[in-house]
């Protein structure tokens, strides 16, 4: 197993390098000038030039890249052009917020999507299956910004049950934190739940028609044992791989959801950074996301191997 | 019969829901099985034999199927039981083993857990008790080192061993009835012999009733006391196995039996012989038209010398090569026009790899191949294309070897067009001619593969192989997936084509009886090597190599006189051709028994 993980981490290095070059050069191609954003009303060319000089924005792009990369290797992601805070500090501040949102959304997605998928597969072509499919399709087709706004109107404005926005750290005030997070997590989770449900259903359908399920039934096992133990454990394998891939969708969704509920998370950080041409922050956030994505997939692969005796043996 | 039957089935009718309403697939089937007795249900695909067994277990989807009639197990009506009570019967009083040992075990649970589950579920044993009992069962099915294999997963077992695990699972609860649904069909012939022996042995010890579902008349003759013959959902004949074989009354029974290739039926004949064609309505067999002919002794069209094909086995951090599968090892033979050379052997013996290496569908490692004037191993991409006009292949599975989105006319014409052998009109004409040639009306050209049966599809595949006017045809298990009567017809077609087109066949098969019927010469392969090669009559009537003898002894012969035959239980497995790096295969010596009959001299 350590060999397997080591191998995968080695492969991750060139991947991250390619991503960083790509993002770095793409940003420079974007129209707009960070210095203009920074200077605000001040348009004195001398001042602008000074700022450019200060932040090494006049250096050739490859030189800028190498400088940045050197910093990264020393654990320095640069300084935000907008707030003058170190990027690492910014990320450290915002990342936990988004991680909390993501975990809660995933819990929603699993709690809704997986049981619904199993049920739809077991009750294939019955009313239950059709209802599950319709719910899933609605979950996929309703844009989550719309769902978010509707929920705010209903739950917060009309019923007054939950706060419409804001954020509290879970370590400071857990109750308040959950109250503020539950709606955004639900909104973010529904779209994922729909995808998970569709995939769980098809994975379960494949497994349920397998020969070994017929064997399990011929043994006289109860439907519960057949479905939950013999079938689901097998169907879980493709679902795990899918979950890792959904991580990307989760981040994209988080950007929007955080905007709607004004949550000071990663998504908001990157949107603000892009609009202000805050290069160092964008670069840092993208790299951080890429690392997260690679880690998620690594975890999924490890789980996949652990759950699959056939692969476990080959390690 | 004096004692009460264990299982009594009366007027069993099973119907499936279709778009046009209920369609019955089993009609009015009745039979009894006493304890200690074996009843075989025999029939071709679509005869309803498996549905009958699943009906008894009530394993068909309840909404989509309807079971009528009476199924009594020790007097208790199974159809009247609640689903919950039925679960207490399944795996407990009635157990089942299935055809596919490779897929019938759950891949993510240990085999120990899967067997003990039966005991904890039905016998109320604790986990420790179940473990001890499971190990005892594994020993009873002769799995070596049973205790240490309890915690292993299905993929760590070979097919034959997995079927033993299935049997252990089925018998763990000491059922009164064992239903065996084609339990040996997917196994190699020597392994099949072991499993049949094991079932008989355990039946003797336990006294259970056995319902044996099969399509193989040889297996029926060997194992069944009584036999039910099914045809398209009806039980057309029921009786003692001997009567069915020797005094079959129903025409279909007689037709089925005469179509069965029977090992040893070619004694004293030198040349291939067509199968007798039997009218399923009248049961009258038309003796095969002789039209035997010998091979004109001209130059070989295909010469293979010292062919070696190995596949690297890689493992470790940097995927270094740690060994090699010696799939084909120093194989040499000739093939003449109008001649059939059969390669026989069990899985992993390298017979298919040999066929593919010759066509360079797989790159051989060493050796020399001369085919119709081409030095095959030296050819560049373009010449390789041209070479393939001379040699074509027919595959095993007629369901997956035709493109479902291409009409059969297009499929047959495609090679002709791709090789620019003529215009589109000529290709169409050729396709029409070839379809007629393989016994299909040319009017069917515009139809798609799904509209044809398995046998018809195999005919289409043959027509496609012929569209380039090849001289050699590699038939890789081409009739193995077909029903008995269809198999006979397709074999006859191949013989006809050989005669009129002077084709050379490299006939790759595991089926000794078919090989005996169609071959001029036979090569027996074992672990990548030819251990015996020679004229068919010499090899079959005077086998010399121990492996050839073992292979022939294992083939079930459709003769009820052999019932109760035991081969002496062994649990020997097929050996693996994987060798460590740097392994040097021993230099083999061959001894000539008679003209052209060569036998590998055993290791000194």
What residues in A contact B169, CB-CB < 8 Å?
215, 219
Q: How far is B240 from chain A (nearest CA, A)?
A: 29
What residues in A contact B98, CB-CB < 8 Å?
211, 214-215
Query: Are B164 and B184 spatial neighbours (Cβ–Cβ below 8 Å)?
Result: no
pLDDT for B604 equals 44
B323 by DSSP, 3-state: which?
strand
Q: Is the pLDDT of residue B290 over 60?
A: no
Structure token digits, residue B83: 């689903």
Contact between B87 and A216 using a beta-carbon 8 Å cutoff: no
- Looking at the complex, does the CB of residue B98 fall below 8 Å from at least one CB of chain A? yes
Instruction: Look up the ipTM and state it.
Output: 0.79
B575 by DSSP, 3-state: which?
coil
Q: Which residue has the higher pLDDT, A206 or A309?
A: A206
User: Which residue in A214, A220, A307 is closest to B108 by CB distance?
Assistant: A307
**If you measure CA to CA, which chain A residue comes closest to B319?**
A7
In terms of Cα–Cα distance, which of A36, A234, A248 is closest to B107? A234
Contact between A309 and B108 using a beta-carbon 8 Å cutoff: yes
B561 by DSSP, 3-state: which?
helix
What residues in A contact B156, CB-CB < 8 Å?
313
Residues in CB range of B589: below 8 A, 6 or more apart: B600, B601
Contact between B104 and A215 using a beta-carbon 8 Å cutoff: yes
What residues in A contact B57, CB-CB < 8 Å?
218
B328 by DSSP, 3-state: which?
strand
**How confident is the model over B506-514, as a mean pLDDT?**
90
**Secondary structure of chain A in HEC code, one letter for each residue:** CHHHHHHHHHHHHHHHHHHHHHHHHHHHHCCCCHHHHHHCCCCCHHHHHHHHHHCCCCCCHHHHHHHHHHHHHCCCCCECCCCCCEHHHHHHHHHHHHHHHHHHHHHHHHHHHHHHHHHHHHCCCCHHHHHHHHHHHHHHHCCHHHHHHHHHHHHHHHCCCCCCCCCCCCCCCHHHHHHHHHHHHHHHHHHHHHHHHHHHHHHHHHHHCCHHHHHHHHCCCCHHHHHHHHHHHHHHHHHHHHHHHHHHHHHHHHHHHHHHCCCCCHHHHHHHHHHCCCHHHHHHHHHHHHHHHHHHHHHHHHHHHHHCHHHHHHC
What residues in B contact A313, CB-CB < 8 Å?
153, 155-156
pLDDT tens-digit map of B80-96: 889 899 999 998 999 99
pLDDT tens-digit map of B311-367: 888 776 566 788 888 889 999 999 999 899 999 988 878 898 999 999 999 999 999
Return the percentage of chain B with pLDDT > 90, whole number: 36
pLDDT for B1 equals 46
pLDDT for B133 equals 92
User: Which residue in B107, B121, B317 is closest to A219 by CB distance?
Assistant: B121
Q: Is the pLDDT of residue A309 over 90?
A: no
What residues in B contact A219, CB-CB < 8 Å?
90-91, 95, 117-118, 121, 169
Structure token digits, residue A256: 């929007």
Contact between A217 and B153 using a beta-carbon 8 Å cutoff: no
- Looking at the complex, does the CB of residue B122 fall below 8 Å from at least one CB of chain A? yes
Domain residue limits, chain A: 87-314
What residues in B contact A205, CB-CB < 8 Å?
none
**From the centroid of its chain, how far is CA A139?**
18
State the average pLDDT for chain B: 86
- Looking at the complex, does the CB of residue B57 fall below 8 Å from at least one CB of chain A? yes
Find residue B26's DSSP bridge partners: B14
Alpha carbon distance A176, A162 (integer Å): 9
- Which CATH number applies to A87-314? 1.10.3720.10
- Looking at the complex, does the CB of residue B162 fall below 8 Å from at least one CB of chain A? no
In terms of Cα–Cα distance, which of B60, B82, B79, B59 is closest to B69? B79
Class for domain B300-390+470-600, per CATH? alpha beta
Alpha carbon distance B163, B177 (integer Å): 18
User: Which residue in B96, B107, B317 is closest to A218 by CB distance?
Assistant: B96
Contact between B317 and A220 using a beta-carbon 8 Å cutoff: no
Which residue out of B81, B97, B107 would a mutagenesis test of the A interface target, given it has the greatest number of A Cβ atoms within 10 Å?
B107
Place of tokens 């009015």: B28
Alpha carbon distance B417, A285 (integer Å): 57
Place of tokens 């060999």: A3
Q: Is the pLDDT of residue A33 over 80?
A: no
What residues in B contact A307, CB-CB < 8 Å?
108
Q: Is the pLDDT of residue B2 over 60?
A: no
Structure token digits, residue B169: 């699972």
User: Which residue in B90, B107, B108 is closest to A219 by CB distance?
Assistant: B90
- Looking at the complex, does the CB of residue B124 fall below 8 Å from at least one CB of chain A? no
pLDDT tens-digit map of B437-489: 888 888 888 999 888 888 889 999 999 999 999 999 999 988 888 888 788 88
pLDDT tens-digit map of A266-301: 888 888 888 887 878 888 888 888 888 888 888 888
Alpha carbon distance B258, B496 (integer Å): 19
Domain residue limits, chain B: 300-390+470-600, 399-466
Contact between B104 and A221 using a beta-carbon 8 Å cutoff: no
What residues in A contact B19, CB-CB < 8 Å?
none
Which residue out of A1, A213, A218, A233 would a mutagenesis test of the B interface target, given it has the greatest number of B Cβ atoms within 10 Å?
A218
Axis-axis angle for helices B251-259, B484-501 (nearest 10): 50
**If you measure CA to CA, which chain B residue comes closest to A10?**
B317
What residues in A contact B103, CB-CB < 8 Å?
210-212
What residues in A contact B95, CB-CB < 8 Å?
218-219
User: Which residue in A7, A221, A233 is closest to B108 by CB distance?
Assistant: A233
pLDDT for B293 equals 59
Alpha carbon distance A42, B571 (integer Å): 90
User: Which residue in B103, B107, B118 is closest to A219 by CB distance?
Assistant: B118
**How confident is the model over B513-540, as a mean pLDDT?**
91
Q: Is the pLDDT of residue B143 over 70?
A: yes
């Amino acid at each position: 197993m350590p060999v397997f993980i080591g191998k995968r981490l080695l492969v991750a290095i060139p991947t991250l390098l390619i991503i960083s070059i790509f993002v770095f050069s793409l940003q420079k191609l974007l129209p707009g000038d960070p210095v203009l954003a920074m200077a605000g009303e001040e348009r004195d060319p001398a001042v602008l030039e000074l700022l450019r000089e200060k932040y090494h924005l006049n250096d050739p792009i490859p030189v800028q890249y190498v400088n940045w990369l050197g910093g990264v290797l020393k654990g320095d992601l640069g300084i935000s052009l907008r707030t003058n805070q170190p990027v690492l500090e910014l990320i450290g501040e915002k990342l936990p917020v988004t991680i909390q949102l993501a975990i809660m959304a995933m819990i929603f997605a699993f709690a809704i999507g997986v049981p619904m998928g199993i049920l739809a597969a077991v009750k294939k072509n019955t009313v239950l299956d059709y209802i599950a499919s319709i719910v899933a399709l609605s979950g996929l087709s309703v844009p989550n910004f719309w769902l978010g706004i509707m929920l705010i109107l209903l739950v917060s404005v009309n019923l007054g049950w939950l706060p419409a926005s804001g954020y509290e750290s879970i370590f400071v005030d857990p109750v308040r934190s959950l109250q503020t997070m539950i709606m955004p997590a639900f909104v973010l989770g529904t779209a994922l739940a729909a995808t998970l449900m569709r995939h769980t259903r098809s994975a379960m359908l494949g497994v349920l028609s397998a020969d070994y399920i017929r064997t399990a039934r011929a043994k006289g096992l109860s439907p519960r044992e057949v479905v939950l133990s013999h079938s689901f454990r097998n169907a879980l394998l493709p679902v795990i791989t899918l979950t890792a891939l959904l991580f990307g969708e989760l981040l994209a969704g988080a950007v929007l959801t955080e905007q709607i509920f004004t949550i000071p998370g990663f998504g908001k950080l990157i949107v603000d950074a892009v609009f202000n041409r805050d290069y160092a922050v964008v670069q840092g956030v993208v790299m951080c996301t890429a690392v997260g994505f690679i880690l998620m997939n690594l975890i999924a692969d490890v789980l996949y191997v652990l759950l699959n005796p056939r692969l476990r043996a080959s390690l | 019969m004096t004692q009460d039957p264990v299982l009594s089935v009366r007027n069993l009718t099973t119907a499936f829901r279709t778009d046009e309403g209920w369609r019955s697939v089993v009609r009015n089937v009745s039979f009894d099985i006493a304890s200690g007795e074996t009843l075989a249900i025999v029939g071709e695909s679509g005869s309803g034999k498996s549905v009958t067994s699943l009906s008894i277990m009530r394993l068909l989807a309840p909404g989509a199927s309807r079971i009528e009639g009476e199924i009594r197990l020790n007097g208790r009506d199974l159809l009247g039981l609640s689903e919950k009570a039925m679960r207490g019967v399944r795996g407990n009083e009635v157990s089942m083993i299935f055809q596919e040992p490779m897929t019938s075990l759950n891949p993510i649970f240990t085999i120990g857990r899967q067997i003990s589950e039966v005991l904890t579920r039905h016998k109320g044993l604790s986990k420790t008790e179940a473990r001890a009992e499971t190990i005892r069962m594994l020993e009873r099915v002769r799995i070596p080192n049973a205790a240490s294999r309890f915690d292993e997963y299905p993929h760590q077992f070979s097919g034959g061993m997995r079927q033993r695990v299935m049997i252990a699972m089925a018998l763990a609860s000491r059922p009164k009835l064992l239903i065996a649904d084609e339990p040996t069909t997917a196994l190699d012939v020597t392994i099949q012999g072991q499993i049949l022996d094991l079932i008989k042995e355990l039946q003797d010890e336990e006294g259970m009733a056995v319902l044996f579902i099969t399509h193989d008349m040889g297996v029926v003759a060997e194992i069944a006391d009584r036999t039910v013959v099914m045809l398209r959902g009806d039980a057309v004949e029921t009786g003692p196995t001997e009567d069915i074989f020797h005094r079959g009354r129903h025409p279909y029974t007689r037709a089925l039996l005469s179509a069965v290739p029977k090992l040893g039926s070619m004694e004293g004949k030198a040349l291939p012989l067509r199968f007798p064609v039997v009218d399923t309505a009248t049961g009258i067999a038309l003796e095969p038209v002789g039209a035997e002919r010998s091979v004109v002794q001209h130059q070989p069209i295909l010469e293979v010398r010292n062919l070696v094909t190995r596949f690297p086995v890689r493992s470790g951090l940097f995927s270094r090569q740690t060994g090699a599968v010696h799939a084909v090892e120093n194989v040499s033979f000739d093939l003449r026009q109008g001649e059939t050379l059969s390669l026989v052997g069990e899985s992993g013996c390298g017979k298919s790899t040999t066929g593919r290496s010759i066509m360079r569908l797989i790159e051989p490692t060493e050796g020399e191949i001369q085919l119709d004037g081409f030095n095959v191993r030296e050819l560049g991409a373009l010449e390789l294309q041209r070479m393939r006009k001379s040699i074509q292949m027919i595959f095993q599975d007629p369901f997956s070897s035709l493109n479902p989105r291409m009409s059969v006319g297009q499929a047959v014409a495609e090679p002709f067009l791709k090789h620019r052998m003529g215009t589109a009109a000529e290709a169409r004409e050729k396709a029409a001619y070839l379809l007629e040639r393989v016994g299909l009306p040319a009017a069917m050209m515009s139809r798609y593969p799904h509209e044809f049966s398995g046998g018809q599809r195999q005919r289409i595949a043959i027509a496609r192989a012929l569209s380039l006017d090849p001289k050699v045809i590699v038939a890789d298990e081409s009739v193995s997936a077909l029903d008995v009567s269809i198999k006979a017809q397709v074999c006859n077609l191949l013989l006809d084509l050989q005669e009129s087109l002077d084709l050379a066949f490299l006939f790759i098969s595991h089926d000794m009886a078919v090989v005996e019927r169609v071959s001029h010469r036979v090569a027996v392969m074992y672990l990548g090597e030819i251990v015996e090669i020679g004229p068919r009559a010499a090899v079959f009537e005077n086998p010399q190599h121990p492996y050839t003898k073992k292979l022939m002894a294992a083939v079930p012969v459709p003769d009820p006189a052999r019932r109760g035959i035991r081969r002496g239980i062994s649990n020997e497995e097929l050996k693996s051709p994987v060798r460590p790096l740097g392994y040097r295969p021993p230099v083999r010596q061959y001894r000539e028994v008679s003209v052209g009959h060569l036998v590998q001299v055993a290791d000194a």
